[in-house]
Amino acid sequence: MAPAAPLPPLLPVLLVLGQPVLGEPGQGAGTWSRFARLPYPQDQLFLHDTFPDGFLWGAGSAAYQTEGGWRQGGKGASVWDTFAHRPAAPPGSVPPGPAGGDVASDSYNNLYRDAEGLRRLGVSHYRFSLAWARLLPNGTAPLNPAGLAHYRRLLGRLRELGVEPVVTLYHWDLPQGLQDAFGGWASPVLPRLFRDYAELCFRHFGGQVRYWLTMDNPYVVAWHGYGTGRLPPGVRGGPRLGYRAAHHLLQAHAKVWHLYNDHFRPTQRGKVSIALSSHWIKPQRMTEKDIKECQKSLDFVLGWFAKPIFIDGDYPESMRSNLSSLLPEFSEVEKKYIKGTADFFALSFGATLSFQLLDSHMKFQQLESISLRQLLYWISSEYNNPQIFIVENSWFVSGSTKRDDAKYIYYLKKFIMETLKAIRYDGVNVFGYTVWSLLDGFEWHRGYSIRRGLFYVDFQSHDKKLMPKSSVLFYQKLIEKNGFPPLPENQPREGILPCGFAWGIVDNYIQVDTTPAQFLDSNVYVWDVHQTKKLIKVDGVFTSKRKRQCVDFAAIRLQISLLQEMHVTHFHFSLKWSLILPLGNLSLINHTLVHYYQCFASELLRVNITPVVALWQPMAENQELPVSLAKCGAWENPETVQAFVEYAKFCFTSLGDHVKFWITMNEPSVKNLTYTAGHNLLKAHAKAWHLYDKEFRRSQKGKISIALQADWVEPACPFSRNDQEVADRILEFDIGWLAEPIFGNGDYPQVMRAWLHRRNSVDLYNFHLPYFSEDEKKLIQGSFDFFALSHYTTTLVGWEKEDALKYDHYLEVQMINDITWLHSPGRAAVVPWGLRKLLKWVKSKYGDVPIYVMANGIDDGQNMVYDKLRVYYIQNYINEALKAYTLDNVNLQGYFVYSFNDKTAPKYGLYSYTANQYEPKPSMKHYREIIDNNGFPGPETPELLCREEIASCPECHFFRTRKSLLAFISFIFVAFIVTIFFITYYSKRVERRYK
């Protein structure tokens, strides 16, 4: 078997499904069905590849967001200045805007500071906007020399750095004078005035600029500036005025494009476009109606401006048919004039512009999504495969986040990876990417409550220094590598696991059915064939009753047959303490259940499957403790320790002949344990271990340990020392708390004691971590035969508080989600490399201890589509375990999949269970194949000859230890038979002779 996951190659599938179709408007409607047909989970895996040579990497900013200096150098007021300076509004009126950009990041006075940030990043281009009111304070002549000099200095510095400028003429900051004199974009005069402003910019700066953007996101300007009044200039003119303003914006853009094309392109050789922003939307259901509604949603936001420019000079048909007289008309001459007025498709996609400012009714009752890849494909299909330049993209973090902006990093990672997939998988022509933004600034309607910069700015400081966030390092390295090149550690490995490796399956609690077989019933029945058609007991008539046998339990036979079908060598399950000893002591024993467990274990051994038995596993109801113990404090009560030891002794005595692989406690949940309960639990484990070691090991020859839940914890920002400290702390609290006393020095981790001491000294908390006596330390330390762990997923943690709902104040840790990771229906992250890191960590902490992965699995939502994810999960987690064994020399002895079937563990089983029938899922068959191959052998993998194991059968022990005696008895028996034969033969010959 090859080590790579058994997934069909993705590129041929995508080629069959097709690249963007060129043609009439509406071709983009095929996007949703195309992506719904892509193979799962292959299409959602992270793509390790690089971007095409010459791909443009940049960062951006906007004048009003970062420049500040609103009264410096002769600058005039913009509509944003006016909007932000409004006094508090009386009730019922439009509320004032947030604190504005008077100073913001003060880029006007820190031009070289910003340029140094660009140099550090290593970008190929920098997108910025010209402040119209800085160059023309009133919106028209005369020109402001100070403003002209400022932008010349900026362009000169960019030329020195070799950074390509991408210049936006208008990024929402219309001069207030034009709003006052003409009513802003509501006036048909504005397109001509905008053309005059653009001509000035082309004349003074065009020799140094190859990429021009006429304006940014006209949707926001028209709809929220003149329709809803939510943004400057704050005109609440309703839809009609919003559509009229958009009409003038399109005319203005077309005038500027033609101006450049006719008068400046021949000498300056640049390109001109318009930055259009869009959301992405997905259907509630994959029906034709809902897909049409999604298409309409995109028409009303992106198509509103893109279709006139890139297709035919007119608005989308869905807008025309739905808005009737509200939508202005273009004459045929205007349509021809507007059509084709873009040299590339400039796309803006991000939280603020694409989603937060999207009017809810423009979703048409469909669902928003952040799939940049699907949007790129839709644009390519809808608008004849244009060259696409992503001129703005990112997400945001809290305004309180300073340096370690993990959330921002993972959104960037997702968007950039989706861009790469659009290029490599979908054939979309993307030639550049711009992260937004270079530095923190004023975030429009969100003010300073969020941050979107790569560099941190302390807005309260005087000097406004730029401080690099973790995202700077991330983006810098990404630019250096031109993407995400494949790494050796990401490649699957060929190889096999050692002889005797334990291939197992887990069932928390086996299906117990102690209903007696018909052969144990002494009553006699007759069949009423005429009336009731049922069996009728004959009173007073009885038959002899035979002794109960293990074969009487039909449930056992069925479960054993399923396990045999899987080819596992080990089966792990837990006993039910609360049912075996209902009163918590030996005064009442459920002998029927104990006999059932004995039968189950012996039947496993009969078919060469080793039972792995846990004495106790906490469950929701009473923690699976006997009720009397649960009501008396459970593990908080020291008496539970002795009760557990008595219970363990009973189990060793009753089941020890059949069970050689014991777990004292399976996955005690540290999330639900108090420190006192954990203290007692450790003592109970140690006492049970020593009991087995002294009284049972010699005769039963088994092994025993504790099984801990051990998910990996990774620092959210790999470059952050603070995040690394948080990750180390969580590992000690989650795993080290119970592992260190047993596998380490006999006491709790020093990290825990130090942290709790600190918390108790500064807070009102009083978290007391108990102390062990020296005798208790000696008792607990070393009470193991192996390290058993359950591992399901990996968690990212950081120290900067970002989301209050996912922040642990007690441990001062922020949980972070990498949205590029695969997730199960239950939102468990699929991170195979986390298992390898965990195994290496255990080895580094506790030495060359034998390790068993006692449970590893994922839910499928009882949807067979997601069983494909489980196939991927099992394949890749086992492959990472193989890497730990072969490359890291981890002493790995076994691996168990969770779980056996859906009846006892719904959504997690390798067997589905419906209508009283078990059916193997594809994931079971795939796991069986891995077991049969003992891993992932390749053409060059040396053959491993393993001595066949003899089943550990207690009934067979007598015969194996008396082989000489058996041989002698066999010889006597054969001699006896031969003697009888000869006696009979010769006696018959004698009889015939005398006759």
Query: What is the per-residue pLDDT across 2-53, written as a single tens digit (0 to 9) for each?
Result: 444 444 455 555 544 556 655 467 799 999 999 999 999 999 999 999 999 9
Q: Tell the residue number behind the tokens 């009737």, with chain if given.
A: 324
The H or E element that residue 397 is part of is strand 397-398
Find the mean pLDDT for residues 515-529: 67
Based on the number of CB atoms within 10 Å of its own CB, is 920 exposed (0-12), middle (13-18) or buried (19 or more)? middle
Rounded CA-CA distance 696/754 in Å is 40
Please determine, looking at this structure, whether the domain spanning 502-510+553-936 carries the CATH number 3.40.50.2300: no
Contact in structure between 187 and 248 (CB atoms under 8 Å)? yes
Query: What is the per-residue pLDDT across 650-696, written as a single tens digit (0 to 9) for each?
Result: 999 999 999 999 999 999 999 889 999 999 999 999 999 999 999 99
Rounded CA-CA distance 705/692 in Å is 10
Based on the number of CB atoms within 10 Å of its own CB, is 816 exposed (0-12), middle (13-18) or buried (19 or more)? buried
Task: List the single range of 72-81, 208-217, 765-774 with lowest mean pLDDT.
Answer: 765-774
Rounded CA-CA distance 412/406 in Å is 10
Task: List the single range of 349-353, 623-627, 720-724, 862-866 with lowest mean pLDDT.
Answer: 349-353
Assign 622 a pLDDT band (cuts: 50, 70, 90). Answer: confident
User: Closest Cα partner for 681 from 659, 666, 703, 702?
Assistant: 666
Rounded CA-CA distance 811/795 in Å is 15
Residue 32, both tokens? 């949703």
At 7 the pLDDT is: 43
Residue 506, both tokens? 């887990």
User: Closest Cα partner for 168 from 264, 61, 309?
Assistant: 61
In 3-state terms the chain splits into helix, strand, coil percentages (rounded to 5) of 45, 15, 35
Average pLDDT, the chain: 91
Rounded CA-CA distance 48/836 in Å is 19
Query: What is the per-residue pLDDT across 292-348, written as a single tens digit (0 to 9) for each?
Result: 999 999 999 999 999 999 999 999 999 999 998 899 999 999 999 999 999 999 999
At 961 the pLDDT is: 45
Report the 3 state secondary structure along 299-343: HHHHHHHHHHHHHHCCCCHHHHHHHHHHCCCCCHHHHHHHCCCCC
Rounded CA-CA distance 835/874 in Å is 12
Residue 912 preceded by cis peptide, ω within 30: no
Rounded CA-CA distance 299/893 in Å is 59
The two beta strands, 345-350 and 367-369, are unpaired
At 295 the pLDDT is: 97
Does pLDDT of 957 surpass 50?
A: no
Contact in structure between 579 and 593 (CB atoms under 8 Å)? yes
At 359 the pLDDT is: 86
Torsion 749-752-755-760 (CA) sign: negative
Rounded CA-CA distance 723/816 in Å is 11
DSSP string, 450-510: EE--SEEE-TTSSS--EEE-HHHHHHHHHHHHTB----GGGS---EEPPTT-EEEEEESSP
Rounded CA-CA distance 286/37 in Å is 11
CA 451, distance to chain mean position in Å, is 24
The two beta strands, 712-715 and 787-790, are unpaired
User: Closest Cα partner for 740 from 602, 846, 620?
Assistant: 846
Rounded CA-CA distance 574/614 in Å is 4
* Residues whose CB falls within 8 Å of the CB of residue 134, separated by 6 or more in sequence, listed in order: 63, 67, 73, 74, 75, 76, 144, 146, 147, 150
Q: Where are the domains of the chain?
A: 502-510+553-936
Query: What is the per-residue pLDDT across 252-274, written as a single tens digit (0 to 9) for each?
Result: 999 999 999 999 999 999 999 99
At 2 the pLDDT is: 44
- What is residue 835's three-state secondary structure? helix
- What is residue 919's three-state secondary structure? strand
At 940 the pLDDT is: 87
What's the maximum distance between 2 C-alpha atoms anywhere in the chain? 150
